[in-house]
Amino acid sequence: MRFKGLPHAIAGLAGALVLVLNMAFAPVPAAAADQLKLIGFGDSLMAGYGLEGGEGFPARLQAALNERGHDVEIIDAGVSGDTTSGGLARLDWSIPDDADGVILELGANDALRGVPPEQTRENLEAMITRLNQRGIPVLLAGMLAPPNMGADYETAFNGVYPHLASQHDLLLYPFFLDGVTGDEAMLLPDGMHPNANGINKMVEGILPVAEQFIDRIKAS
């Protein structure tokens, strides 16, 4: 008599198990499956130094792309003060395997510290190569050397980014701070980092290239 209800209990348990399995293997909603995850990998210019939450470059670029109909999430992987050597050292654990693409922005601190341009090039190339090996596309955000470093340094440094973009068939935004450098209305009081207006100017400039990057990712 005490086992009278056992078949019903087993049947109920089997039904619950089927429900759990159906939920576990249910198709991922289209919106989630189609969303692209981009990583903004860089220094203080990427990390939003001195800005409020939501004012940094990754957040503002994501908002601009979303407004234009692109389902994209941009994760901020910027570290203030980072050089290309520092970026290379943290690359593997900073970029998740499910990243659909990386906006690579490093080199400003190399130039400020007078790091030999050849070393900057080698570090950037090593990062690009590692990401390529992982199947993660790169949009390269270029930088220009400050003029006080001298003409020879300036020429060598400024040529690093176009050379790498050509060599590795990358989309290139030639100067990340285009339209911001030298304009007090676009800069924090330190005269180096962009304020919220500066970030918006940077986003406006890079937006067409970012859209090309998204198209390239989808096409691949």
- Residue 193 falls in the annotated catalytic set: yes
What is Dmax (Cα atoms) for the chain? 96
Q: How far apart are CA 125 and CA 118, in angstroms?
A: 10
Identified catalytic residue from 82, 100, 110, 193 = 193
By DSSP bridging, strand 101-105 and strand 72-78 are unpaired
Identified catalytic residue from 98, 152, 190, 220 = 190
Torsion of CA 204, 165, 56, 181, to 10 degrees: -70
Task: Check residue 102 and report its DSSP letter.
Answer: E
- Residue 44 falls in the annotated catalytic set: yes
Contacts of residue 156, defined as CB under 8 A and 6 or more positions apart, other chains included, come to 117, 118
Q: How far apart are CA 60 and CA 200, in angstroms?
A: 7
Identified catalytic residue from 43, 44, 82, 100 = 44
Active site residues: 44, 190, 193
